[in-house]
């Protein structure tokens, strides 16, 4: 892609003159979305996967814009891709030796991807009778996969991982004991208030460091009023003028906001 952009800049007048109609489609389908995403990146984090939806238009238009040079551009892209594949494939090899030079905090997070058995062994030994949870979306997904056990997302204000709002019902976990995994050394300050008692331990093994919070007797009412209410306002504040037939987050945690007469949600009616 970089050399295609270079080619366009170098021969922009000829390309526009010879392919004006096609070039217009090219702009609409690829350039404009990418420019908008680039502009948006100044105000919020934009994932690289957002741009993938527009890449097919980019390559289709390349064939139409410069068919004679397209094969050569493909060769350049193939070489570039091979280099990336080699680099990505060798990452686990270097990661297993990264503890010698990597910052300990960074190494622990890296090790979660290449040596997940370290984390899973410790979690299994301490998880008897406890609900497994994490304050990080990535940690919950990666360890949930490798440990073969679902890990809930607990006290996370991030927009990522809100699928857990559908999966986990914290009403049913009232009074339960939790085991919460985190890389944050101050995690107990964040999650401790939601339990009657909580204690934090540090786990060290093979250069990997992480933290476990043993929370006893989960206080759902406090979690609802202090955390879930923030999630409601941040991600589920549906404008009152929009018609809504249902909403899992409201129905589970804030049913009083549902108007039986109008079939709408009124967030101002929430009582915390």
Residue 88 lies in a domain: yes
Least reliable range by pLDDT among 11-15, 107-111, 146-150: 11-15
Residues 16 and 51 in one domain: yes
Mark which of 59, 94, 129 sits at the end of a domain: 94
**Domain range for residue 264?**
236-269
- Beta bridge mates, 182: 211
- Beta bridge mates, 200: 213
**Alpha carbons 71 and 201: distance in angstroms, whole number:** 58
Residues 57 and 82 in one domain: yes
Mean pLDDT, rounded, for 189-205: 96
Least reliable range by pLDDT among 78-92, 150-164, 189-203: 78-92
Residue 102 lies in a domain: no
Residues 175 and 136 in one domain: yes
Share of the chain above pLDDT 70, in %: 76
How many other β-carbons are positioned within 10 Å of the β-carbon of residue 124? 13
**pLDDT band for position 22 (50/70/90)?**
low
Residue 157 lies in a domain: yes
Residues 178 and 88 in one domain: no
Residues 218 and 240 in one domain: no
Domain count, the chain: 3
Residue 101 lies in a domain: no
φ and ψ at residue 97, rounded to 5 degrees: -115, 5
Res 208: pLDDT: 87
Res 258: pLDDT: 66
Helix (H, G, I), strand (E, B) or coil at 218: strand
Least reliable range by pLDDT among 91-105, 106-120, 154-168, 190-204: 91-105
Q: What is the pLDDT of residues 243-267, one digit of tens each?
A: 666 788 988 998 887 654 344 444 4
Task: Say how many Å lie between the first and final Cα of the chain, rounded.
Answer: 52
């Amino acid at each position: 892609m970089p050399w295609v952009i270079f080619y366009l800049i170098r021969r922009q007048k000829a390309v526009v003159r010879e392919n004006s109609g096609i070039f217009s489609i090219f702009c609409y389908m690829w350039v404009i979305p990418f420019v908008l995403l680039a502009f948006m990146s100044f105000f919020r984090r934009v994932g690289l996967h957002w741009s993938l939806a527009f890449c097919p238009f980019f390559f289709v238009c390349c064939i139409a814009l410069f068919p004679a040079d397209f094969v050569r551009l493909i060769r350049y892209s193939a070489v570039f891709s091979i280099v990336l594949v080699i680099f990505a494939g060798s990452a686990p090899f270097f990661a297993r030796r990264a503890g010698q030079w990597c910052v300990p905090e960074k190494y622990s997070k890296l090790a979660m991807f290449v040596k997940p058995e370290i984390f899973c062994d410790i979690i299994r030994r301490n998880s008897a009778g406890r609900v497994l949870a994490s304050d990080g979306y990535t940690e919950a997904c990666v360890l949930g996969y490798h440990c073969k056990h679902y890990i809930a997302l607990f006290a996370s204000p991030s927009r990522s991982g809100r699928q857990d709002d559908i999966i986990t019902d914290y009403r049913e976990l009232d009074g339960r004991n939790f085991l919460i995994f985190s890389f944050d050394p101050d995690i107990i300050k964040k999650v401790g208030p939601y339990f009657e008692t909580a204690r934090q331990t540090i786990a060290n093994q093979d250069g990997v460091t992480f933290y476990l919070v043993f929370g006893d007797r989960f206080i759902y009412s406090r979690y609802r009023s202090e955390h879930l209410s923030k999630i409601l306002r941040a991600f589920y504040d549906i404008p009152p003028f929009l018609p809504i037939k249902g909403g899992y987050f409201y129905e589970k945690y804030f049913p009083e906001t549902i108007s039986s007469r109008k079939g709408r949600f009124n967030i101002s009616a929430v009582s915390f």
